[in-house]
Amino acid sequence: METLLNVLNLVTVFESEEGAARVVDGVSIRVDRAEAVGLVGESGCGKSVTALSIMRLIPSPPGRIAAGSVLFEGRDLLTIPEKDMRKVRGNKISIVFQEPLTSLNPVFTCGEQVREAIALHQRLGRAASKAKAIEMLRLVRIPDPEKRYGSYPHQMSGGMRQRVMIAMALSCEPQLLIADEPTSALDVSVQGQIIELLGELQERMHMAVLLITHDLAVVAQMASRVIVMYAGVIVEESPVRSLFEATAHPYTEGLLASIAKLAHRGDRLSTIPGNVPDPFRLPPGCRFSDRCPKRFEKCPTAEPPLFDVSPDHRSRCWLCGG
């Protein structure tokens, strides 16, 4: 499998009155061509900031990318000039966000916005880019695309808007699609449609997808490989089946156990006690140690590295090595 994107030791820092928080603290991610990778974690773990860092969309005060490299097509995206980066964004690497209502410009029709995305990167005249835009709307299964071309965002439902976002993102046939919580703001019945759509498009366009979500069930549906983040670092990385069947990190175990699954009506849900740590006040040693049911003496003394549990399964836990 050919590697498409290789993020190495990315560190992104946010400055505030209390100092600098390393919101992404040494994260390395590999995405192969046409592969679907899930990036999972709860709020504050740094997954969205990682995605924005790859796209160099971090707002520059208060954030900055402090270290690391993002290798794509033989170049380090963090070092190329901004005008070259603009040719990458929306063209080679696209991103779809969670809340389509605020990601779409309310003043322009949806069709216009898709057309603009196309015209920006491809040398097509107005008529040609409009035709392509309508094709894209059809591709994302928007019914009656010629008519919907002229609809405004507020006239469309959440599911439709998300499809428009996907159409915009895919209009230049990118090699990598980053989807940041693409279904979280949608209704259950629509979530299924969008997940199915993303899966189809990924296969059809031979495209890699980095799917960022807090929902392990969505990841189970779509991804072939999963990366779990906690408090700015990767804590587990594995093919999707092993993650669910041979979980190697207590945090992942806790997450899986606390999901209320259908057809499992029980007395109490299993929980992870405590809260996600404040990035300015990280616990000493392993970041998860103060909430971990399996902690032992070594855990608060030093942060574990990523150990190899099996050739493609790694876990940042002293129970796995050392």
Contacting residues toward another protein, per CB under 8 A: 14, 16-18, 21, 23, 42-44, 49, 59, 61-62, 157-160, 187-193, 195-197, 214-218, 220-221, 240-241, 244, 254-256, 258-273, 275-276, 278-280
Distance of closest approach, residue 40 Cβ to another protein, in angstroms = 10
Contact in structure between 197 and 167 (CB atoms under 8 Å) = no
Closest distance of CB 13 from another protein, Å: 11
| Smallest distance from another protein to CB 131, Å | 25
Report the distance separating Cα 186 and Cα 193, nearest Å. 10
Please, which residue, 214 or 298, has the CB nearer to another protein? 214
CB of 279 to another protein, least distance (A): 6
Kindly tell me which of 75 and 244 has the beta carbon lying closer to another protein. Answer: 244
Q: Is the CB of 3 or the CB of 102 nearer to another protein?
A: 102
Number of residues that make up the chain: 322
Rounded to the nearest whole angstrom, what is the least distance from the CB of residue 322 to another protein in the complex? 26
Q: Which is nearer to another protein, 13 or 207 (CB)?
A: 13
CA pair distance 131, 58, nearest whole angstrom: 34
Closer residue to another protein in complex, CB, 168/218 = 218
| Strand residues in 109-223 grouped as ranges (E) | 176-180, 208-213
Shortest gap between Cβ of 50 and another protein (angstroms)? 13
**CA dihedral of residues 303, 309, 312, 314 (deg, nearest 10):** -20
Q: Which residues contact 318 (CB under 8 A, 6 or more apart)?
A: 286, 296, 298, 299, 304
- Is 15 in a helix, a strand, or coil? strand
Whole-angstrom CA distances from 15 to 115, 291, 314 are: 38, 26, 31
Nearer to another protein, 129 or 159 (CB): 159
Measured between alpha carbons, how far is 29 from 111 in angstroms, rounded to an integer? 34
To the nearest whole angstrom, how small is the minimum distance from the Cβ of residue 190 to another protein?
7
Extract the tokens encoding 276: 């996600």
- Can you tell me whether residue 6 is helix, strand or coil? strand
Q: Specify the residue, 87 or 204, whose C-beta has the smaller distance to another protein.
A: 204
Cβ distance to another protein smaller for residue 58 or 136: 58
Sheet containing 176-180: order of strands: 93-96, 176-180, 208-213, 36-40, 225-230, 233-239, 313-315, 307-310
Smallest gap from residue 267 Cβ to another protein (A): 8
Q: Report, in Å, the least distance between residue 139 CB and another protein.
A: 15
Q: Which residues contact 241 (CB under 8 A, 6 or more apart)?
A: none
- 116: nearest Cα among 101, 136, 95: 136
Using the minimum distance from each CB to another protein, give the nearer residue, 160 or 309.
Answer: 160
